[in-house]
Amino acid sequence: MKSYDRLFIGGEWVSPAGTGTIDVINPTTEEVAGTVPDASEADVDRAVAVARDAFDNGPWPRMSPAERAEVLTKVSQAIQGDMQGMAELITTEMGSPVSWATMAQVFAPTMILDYYVGLASSFAFDEVRQGLLGEVLVAKEPVGVVAAISPWNVPLFIAAAKLAPALVAGCTVVFKPAPETPLDAFRLAEIFTDAGLPHGVLSVLPAGREVGEHLVRHPGIDKVSFTGSTAAGKKIGAACGEQLKRFSLELGGKSAAVLLDDVDLSQALPMLLPNAIMNNGEACIAQTRILAPRDRYQEVVDAVVESVAAMKVGDPLDPEVAVGPLVAERQRDRVEGYIRIGQEEGAKVALGGGRPSGIDKGWFVEPTVFVDVDNSMRIAQEEIFGPVLAVIPYEGGDEEAVAIANDSHYGLCGSVWTGDPERGLKVARGVRTGTYMLNSPVPIDFSTPFGGFKESGIGREFGPDGLELFLEKKSINLPAGFSPTI
Ligand code: NAD
């Protein structure tokens, strides 16, 4: 058990202003896995003041991007040196199957860090453009003090997606991890300290929603980078709008996997289903609606049920396990509630629907496949965030499948599976989501933009777009004959 009695403010471990604590509960054992201080508004005020001073007066924004990237290189190397330990820590916090966690929760963040290290030397922070009236230096400067707020489902991944571009840009950051997953965030703080991050640049304050709201509204914050639910994202967007504060939002999803009538299921399902139930179904990009042509519907249902039934459920620290427990008891209640709702709405459970037998501890739900689902049902419209799939029939060809995929408030991800990539590309272009998989097992490539249409978010993380979220552009009109050093 790893516990902390201090908060990480500006690179120092300091006593919290209040006395509240957060117990991290291991969702497999239901036992306390660690305790951390519950940061208060006074701690936020202190961290923002430190970050403000480091931004306005400190060395970090004035160093070159390449110098800042050196710190990130060390952070990436340190994480790579302890992949197993980090994966087991995250699995203990929130139940992610450890073999998936090692790749997606730990190795992927190092890829993100490494990508932004590379971009630090190739990105044009300064450009001289030929304007209408003379030459103009377009300088891209750090946006200022950033509030980074993350959810519990892929905690280190989201931390890397925000901290790597923010720090390469030259921002200082107050990072509020979710209260369910503070331990990996504090481990990351230790790694940043060892990597030589200057004083004041990073604070890590585990806390709940109210303190998060205080951080968002704090006048010392220039930009909010938020990942979490659409409900919270709307509140944060409204608060930032009132203050004309910069913000970007990565929110929920209800992605549709479209199987075209020529699909080879033996090729498609081994790529699709791990993406449908990834991270116990607690993934924003999970492909939880499976759209199948009516005349192959039963064949698809049988194949999906057979593959999902073969997924091993159990202790997520077992490398063979594909589905572990949900993050918390309230999350299991929520998922079980949706399983009831689906049945009340007239959908049928073809697999699962209950708790796995033989497991008497932990917040497990059986991987569940609903069939005879209509896209208007709540189980097809709302984000369940658990291992629950809805197989939805469509008639009338590819256009009908696109229309059903688009019949959603969300627009985060999606996929199409076909023997004809040209036909698949037409479907991909028709679906209004920020990322798409065309016969591909890869939902996100960190060198390209990722984010949501509609209620799945505003802004794009990853790639140069993700760096630009943390930059302000300034146009400096130059006198004739002057060539600035850039
Ligand atoms: P959540 O919105 O409840 O909480 C996310 C974070 O925001 C937590 O740190 C929480 O304490 C904080 N928070 C909540 N309300 C706040 C407010 N009003 N002001 C400031 N901070 C606030 O979400 P969650 O349950 O932790 O995470 C699951 C959600 O995150 C799902 O909807 C999932 O789809 C989404 N998600 C999206 C992406 C993406 O990239 N689009 C990635 C991962 C998760």
Instruction: Indicate the burial class of 360 (C-beta count within 10 angstroms; 0-12, 13-18, 19 or more).
Output: exposed
Confidence of residue 2 (pLDDT cuts 50, 70, 90): confident
Q: Give the mean model confidence (pLDDT) for residues 320-348.
A: 98
Catalytic residue, chosen from 93, 284, 336, 366, is: 284
- Residues 78, 81, 86, 87, CA torsion sign: positive
Output the CA 162–ligand 1 centroid distance in Å. 14
Output the CA 451–ligand 1 centroid distance in Å. 14
Q: How many CB atoms neighbour CB 283 within 10 A?
A: 23
Q: Report which protein residue has its CA nearest ligand 1's atom 23.
A: 228
Catalytic residue, chosen from 180, 250, 383, 455, is: 250
CA 391 to CA 409: how far, in whole Å?
A: 19
Tell whether ligand 1 has an atom less than 6 A from the beta carbon of residue 41.
Answer: no
Planar angle of CA 336, 340, 341, nearest 5 degrees: 115
**Which tokens hold the place of 22?**
């957060």
Note if 284 is an active site residue: yes
Determine the residue type at 72: L
Tell whether ligand 1 has an atom less than 6 A from the beta carbon of residue 228.
Answer: yes
Tell whether ligand 1 has an atom less than 6 A from the beta carbon of residue 252.
Answer: yes
Farthest CA pair distance, the chain = 79
Q: Which atom of ligand 1 is nearest to the CA of 451?
A: 41
Note if 250 is an active site residue: yes
Cβ neighbors of 368 (< 8 A, separation 6 or more) are 339, 349, 351, 352, 353, 387, 388, 389
CB 36 within 8 A of CB 22: yes
**Which tokens hold the place of 289?**
């609606």
pLDDT per residue over 92-131, tens digit each? 999 999 999 999 999 999 999 999 999 999 999 999 999 9
3-state class of 61 per DSSP? helix
Tell whether ligand 1 has an atom less than 6 A from the beta carbon of residue 114.
Answer: no
Beta bridge partners of 37: 21
The per-residue pLDDT for 486 is 86
Pocket test of ligand 1: the residue of 146, 204, 209 to mutate, having most ligand atoms within 8 Å of its CB, is 209
The per-residue pLDDT for 261 is 98
pLDDT per residue over 162-199, tens digit each? 999 999 999 999 999 999 999 999 999 999 999 999 99
Instruction: Count Cβ neighbours within 10 Å for each residue of 186-199 and write b for 16 or more, e otherwise.
Output: bbbbebbeebebbe
CA 115 to CA 302: how far, in whole Å?
A: 41
CB 97 within 8 A of CB 217: no
